[in-house]
Chain A
Amino acid sequence: MNCSSLRSRLLALPDPTAVSDSVAAHLESCASCQAWHRVLVQVEYAVASVTVPRSDGKKKREVLAQFRTAKANKPKSKPAVSPQITSTPVIAEKAVKKSKSPVSPAIPRTPLGERLARMWPMGLVAAALLVGALAWSIKKSPETAMAKAPSDPMLKEVVAAKIDLDRAHTGADRIKVLAKLADTIHEEARTLSKVTPDEMNSLAAMYRKVVEEALIPQARSLNADERKATLPAYVQRLAEAQQLANRLAGESPAASGRALSEIAEVAEAGRIELAKLIQGRAS
């Protein structure tokens, strides 16, 4: 190892004081590198020794007061600062409350698809919030990530869907809402397909949930006349979704492609099931 490559190696170490045996051996035998290394270590300590202006602590006290005075577990109002930012947890808390059990954090490193599956029985919004989070939170590029999270369009769609579902009086109305939500997830999958395979997988799982566990059961609840009047439009939409997802799967990296293929399969199975329901061949 010559002096130059040794120094490059030192510069790339997580901690320049923790050197390998071969580096140590060179340092021992080379006074020049030894002096250089000493300066490097001193620079590290000098960097750590820079002080910053002491704050008056006002902002910190404000933030702390906001959380400490609020009644734990039952926040009734949004924190005073920036309603935009704090609107999300209020919705989340409501969703959780409605589901009658708190959202317990998942076991570390459980795949998100599984987490979604576990969340599902607790209510659409709780699960969907997770999807919104996936699509729009910290995985995105720094320029678009957290600052925009509170106005997360996916989140808005999902919350809107929940509100619409509550308002829907008929099965047909509910199908309309759910199909729109499925479309939104599909659309989201399209835009994310080329960048984030993990998020794609979660969206695919969410798509499956909405179609298989919400849309189809709703369709089954319709009587024969309602089915004939309502469902053909959704057969068409699912067919389009299937086609589009298949096409995108071919253009995307392997990991995203698999998730898109899954979406296509779900859309196809949904389409076939709806067609059977129209023809009275399924219960």
Chain B
Amino acid sequence: MSNHPEPPIGDEADLIRSAQAGDRSAFATIVDRYWERLYRWLCRLTRDASTAEDITQETFLKAFAAIQRFQAGSNLKAWLFRIAHNSFVNQRRAIKNNRKPLVPEIAEDPKNPVGEALTKEAMLLIAEAVAKLPSDFRGALVLRIDERLSFRDIAEVMGITEETARWRVFKARQKLMGLLSPDLLPAKNEPMSS
């Protein structure tokens, strides 16, 4: 579902090793590789493009400062997202006060395995419903759906337990279904009990 193919693991280990040994161009490759996906997630988390870009930049500078501490064998993507999430949490209050909310948009031709595509209106309804989720739930859901992170990695990114990560994704989906089902399901359907 993600738009980003996973980089080969061996290649990434080499990059990290080089960056840790002081090779800045190796770090530049890491920046290049992860910038867009971090920016995208932060956009959805902050709902403000300029803040998302600032935090993306900050994330990579902090990652560079801390690259020696990155443990070989750990998940680089989760590590970067965690730094980004920490920065987001630190700025959350300021973001709330200054945000000019993003108007959600839907890709022109979303792939849909079910065959019967949702109407543009339904898609927008979903996008708006996601934007209205509390950021902790939205962040977890998007990490799961967009980045295909495991619950364990989501937990690592957000500094929570794996069970909490699973619960946040569960609740996010449940909220969305609660909001959307009346619009999208046949009227005879039984409502979801919580």
Chain A residues proximal to chain B, CB less than 8 Å: 3-4, 7-8, 11-12, 14, 16-17, 32, 35-36, 38-53, 55, 59-60, 62-64, 67-68, 70-75, 79, 81-82, 85-89, 92-93, 96, 102-109, 129-130, 133-134, 137-138, 141-143, 145-147, 149-150
Contacts and interface: CB of A to CB of B under 8 A. Distances in A.
Given A39-B185, A51-B107, A145-B86, A88 B66 contact: yes
Contacts, number: 236
Contacts of B105: 50-51
Interface of B: 1-2, 13, 16-17, 20-28, 31-32, 35, 39-40, 43-44, 49, 52-54, 56-58, 60-62, 64-74, 79, 82-83, 85-87, 89-90, 102, 104-107, 110-114, 116, 118, 122-123, 126-127, 130, 141-142, 144-146, 150-151, 158-159, 166, 169-170, 173-174, 176-177, 180-181, 184-186, 188-190, 192-193
B1 A44 contact: yes
A271 to B, nearest CB: 32
A102 B32 CA distance: 25
Contact of B87 (A11, A73, A93, A146): A146
B22 A73 contact: yes
A52 B106 CA distance: 9
Contacts of A7: 192
Contacts of B151: 14
Contact of B57 (A59, A72, A145): A59
A105 B15 CA distance: 11
B115 to A, nearest CB: 9
Contacts of B16: 105
B147 to A, nearest CB: 10
